[in-house]
Structure 1
């Protein structure tokens, strides 16, 4: 019993460590990918190269380590893998990074906080997440999800007073001219209008990508139940995604040979980092955690990426922190605490249910054994009675 408790405790701790590391990977991905896009990286070839690299790196490990546990490929699993590759490596990655061109890394990270809400609703509808509205721990999960999303929106939309840190400097920019007849003011107005429309376009693209990403998490959790070889599933998704992206790029970017060239710059770093880490390690780790804790648990910590990006920007790049970011980060932490508390109560409830089932099974087994043990005694009594009758007849 103690060994089981220790094992379960270790799995829980590793799950929390894993989801935090996933957010660190996502935060670094936003910074590296935005820098590469600013240097002219094509998002179609980016999606192709990152999935190709992930498939080449992880396929040998999947063949070597999962040859005994990998189930046979069925038509149902094959179609699910095709759909998984279409949802995330093709649609999500292309529309997300296309939208990032028109926005900022911080805004793109903030939009990722739509994923927990969408995933929670889908998991609730498909009964992958246990939600009992009248119970306190389920209310905590719902409130915590709302708080984490609200905190991320506060970090994005609310500015407030600048918080001076020893390593940051308060810089001011001169106000732009406001006279309408001024040529600089007219140009600024036109540029602002264009940026506004581009920002809306980018936001719509990223929102569409987040919906596909949420559907990917749900379908991945369902597929892992019938195809539990997580590393093999990762390699197959990336391989299929690379092939689909190759076809898409050849059709959309026909005749543009320069986009396939590889150079020693941030673009090459983005290819390898996203291929090995985000399309390889992240798929595998999230799948392992998902098999134990469900898809909602994996996405709940997405708002943590906002805090990581803001902290890294303030410490390494000297970006200024304002009151809105600090307030939003505090709300996110409170929301995460409520979600973690609600999930822990789910674990306790399921553990108690399993213990009750074990006790019932033990009781029924014990009763059947007692009946079986009493049967020979009754037979012995019957034999004695028959023997006595035979003696009397003699």
Structure 2
């Protein structure tokens, strides 16, 4: 059962991300400033994580948390820059131009980017002569193909939404419904921004695995990431949030989105994702991103009455098939690595040394 905790954790992470994508789209369309949002949500997460980090990683386990050297501090600063300041601000700018479903579909470029960088850095072993190696490569290609089909091909046959009328309407300041339709220019601009944000996210996944080896304290690590993220985005505020009114909070969906993302995403999900990466590696974590597409697509079809196209259905099927190909290959690697960690590798020294 313990071996499956990372799998369950990554599924929960994608569900949480799916909910945040919908809420963030609504809040941004209602006027929430993206820089203000990033600052507030990470301030909330820092306040939540810091006490737990102090109690569990400082008072009770002094040997667990190493000293915070200048080199480690710079690496954590870079983590915050890639995974929050650059990724989130650029992602939100693109999300305004597109829809949550399109943004989720484009997220499937993350596994291929992370896989490629991990192979180049020697963090991921690929043997094309083995079935597992071919499965991981084939699964990555299938995932990319599925995301391209989902994004670029709608098909001549349409499937109506699960409901005739949207359960959730997005209103702007004038009270008119903000539809999920976007012209071609905005779609291209938004897609380019989202792809750029996912490049930063892939670098964050790789760098996080590296930093965790020298600073194995997930609570303290994420608290520091949230601190630096708030600081970095605050420096951007004069450029994107000059009016003092954008910092005022009211009891509305914007405030709920800030609280949800601060507690559920920046605090709980960041910590859970750090734990999964430290145990299974960055490529394992990245390969669950296709589930975000399915989650957001289904919710959008129900809540916004968004129509499901034939291309969306075929693309989703390809993504799921590719995901299981890669997970099958990763599961085989994990099963061979576990005996070595537990000291059982002595019975099969040749096989383990080849896989290493």
Contact 1:23–1:301 (CA under 8 A) maintained in structure 2: yes
- Greater helix share, structure number: 1
**Deviation string, structure 1 residues 226-252 (Cα, Å, up to 9, x no partner):** 111111101110011111111221x31
Matches within 5 A, 1:1-394: 10-67=1-58, 68=61, 69-160=64-155, 161-164=157-160, 167-169=162-164, 195-249=183-237, 251-253=238-240, 255-351=242-338, 357-359=345-347
Distance 1:255 1:310, change over 3 A: closer
Relative to the length of structure 2, the TM-score reads: 0.86
**Deviation string, structure 1 residues 271-306 (Cα, Å, up to 9, x no partner):** 111111221112111110111110001010111111
Contact 1:59–1:232 (CA under 8 A) maintained in structure 2: yes
Q: What secondary structure sits across from 1:301 in the alignment?
A: coil
Distance 1:205 1:322, change over 3 A: closer
Contact 1:164–1:170 (CA under 8 A) maintained in structure 2: no
Q: How far off is 1:357 after superposition?
A: 4.4
Q: What secondary structure sits across from 2:103 in the alignment?
A: helix
| Structure of larger gyration radius | 1
Q: Any unmatched runs of 5+ in structure 2?
A: 167-180, 350-356
Within 2, Cα distance between the matches of 1:20 and 1:356? 30
Contact 1:53–1:276 (CA under 8 A) maintained in structure 2: yes
| Aligned pairs, number | 329
Within 2, Cα distance between the matches of 1:259 and 1:316? 28
Q: How far off is 1:329 after superposition?
A: 1.8
Q: What secondary structure sits across from 1:66 in the alignment?
A: helix
Distance 1:212 1:337, change over 3 A: same
Contact 2:82–2:204 (CA under 8 A) maintained in structure 1: yes
